[in-house]
Amino acid sequence: FSLGHNSRKRVLLIIAVVAPPLSILLCFICSVVWMRRRRQGKANLNDQAATNRPEKDELVWRLEEKSSEFTLFDFSEILHATHNFSKENLLGQGGFGPVYKGQLPDGMQIAVKRLASHSGQGFTEFKNEVELIAKLQHNNLVKLLGCCIQGEEKLLVYEYLPNKSLDFFIFERNRTAFIDWNNRRAIIEGIAQGLLYLHKHSRLRIIHRDLKASNILLDKDMNPKISDFGLAKIFSSNDIQGSTKRVVGTYGYMSPEYASEGIYSIKSDVFSFGVLLLEILSGKRNSGFYQYGDFLNLLGYSWQLWEGGTWVELLDASIVKEICTSDARRYINIALTCVQESADDRPTMSDVVAMLNSESVILPEPNHPGYFNLRVSKTHEFFVPCSNNDVTITEEPDGR
């Protein structure tokens, strides 16, 4: 009996010694397992949230992680800077929404493009512009300082350029005196340099696809800066051209192959540049509410004058006495070379810059331009024969 009693005492003693640390060990193991499961659950929830996270949040995260030169503004900061988007701060109304002047607490002036929820520029174009232009640096490209995304609000924050856009001067009779031939020549050369950078010298090969007078902004010294990259396309170094079923842009500036077939290339921008050059020289819009002789657009009118040897009549009255005849002929020749109907016949921007900078460069004789006999109505419709594309067109306003 005593032996059995001693054995039980020994067992109880062992249990008393072993049980506490064993309990602690079991509790520790359970805690570790529980914590791992909890962390795994959180990870799964985070993964699921990431999968379902809105595209705009992903854009914000990407910009926060990769860009040190780009600012993500708070909406309250923009409200304060623009005085709650007051009418007094309104700079203009574009196709994608109004643009407001603002001032940050440090005194820096900004221009804020507030994209309208009903505008043609959706989040895809917004993201395209933010991610693309933030990587581009050139004196003739507008500088994008940052953006703001909150709820349905999509805001782009640019450097403020006090002289508004090019169309503000060249299409208004009472303002053409403020932009003489020297100004216009510098603007033409600056735009050409900006496009050359996009096509050849930037880290990315960019086709703008919406080059027009209202997208050329002017700084305090009247230096031009190309803006609005919402429709721009990135090309690899091996690509020559691309195509799309959704044609977007502004009629009067789109190349024939792009408008009718959705084919775009650097030559598409060259065509737009040629149109813009003719507009700067003449002070007239290519399309809209004007009639030129037997033609209903500026390209046809210019071609008629060129063939008839009366191209001087094309020039804006405010610069006729300032520009020498040889310069006038050379610039009109370059413009008509850029707007030829076939993309293969158009020069590259490298060629254009060489033509502009050197009088010794022999200029090719142009063929007839694209659209030279196209009727452009006053309506918002733009008809291109044989086009099967879903065409989205922006009509330029008749002055601003």
Residue type, 156: L
**Interacting residues of 195 by C-beta distance below 8 A, sequence separation 6+:** 208, 211, 226, 269, 270, 273, 349
Q: Which residues pair with 103 in a beta bridge?
A: 109
- Helices marked H in 179-227: 181-196
Are 368 and 359 in contact by the 8 Å Cβ rule? The answer is: no
Alpha-carbon gap, residue 266 to 391, rounded angstroms: 20
Are 189 and 343 in contact by the 8 Å Cβ rule? The answer is: no
Active-site residue (options: 57, 106, 180, 210) = 210
Alpha carbon distances (Å) from 193 to 279, 348, 356, 381? 18, 12, 10, 33
Contacts for 57-66 with beta carbons within 8 Å, 24 or more apart?
A: 59/127, 59/130, 59/131, 59/149, 60/149, 62/131, 63/130, 63/131, 63/134, 63/147
**Among 326, 337, 340, 332, residue whose Cα is nearest residue 365:** 337
Dig out the tokens for 29 from the structure: 């193991």
Half-sphere exposure of 77 (CA within 13 A, CB side): 17
Are 279 and 220 in contact by the 8 Å Cβ rule? The answer is: no
Alpha-carbon gap, residue 242 to 21, rounded angstroms: 72
Return the residue matching tokens 């007094």.
88
**Interacting residues of 350 by C-beta distance below 8 A, sequence separation 6+:** 196, 199, 200
Establish whether 221 is a catalytic residue. Answer: no
According to DSSP, residue 221 is labeled T
Q: Which residues pair with 206 in a beta bridge?
A: 234
**Among 396, 384, 330, residue whose Cα is nearest residue 168:** 396
Residues taking part in catalysis: 210
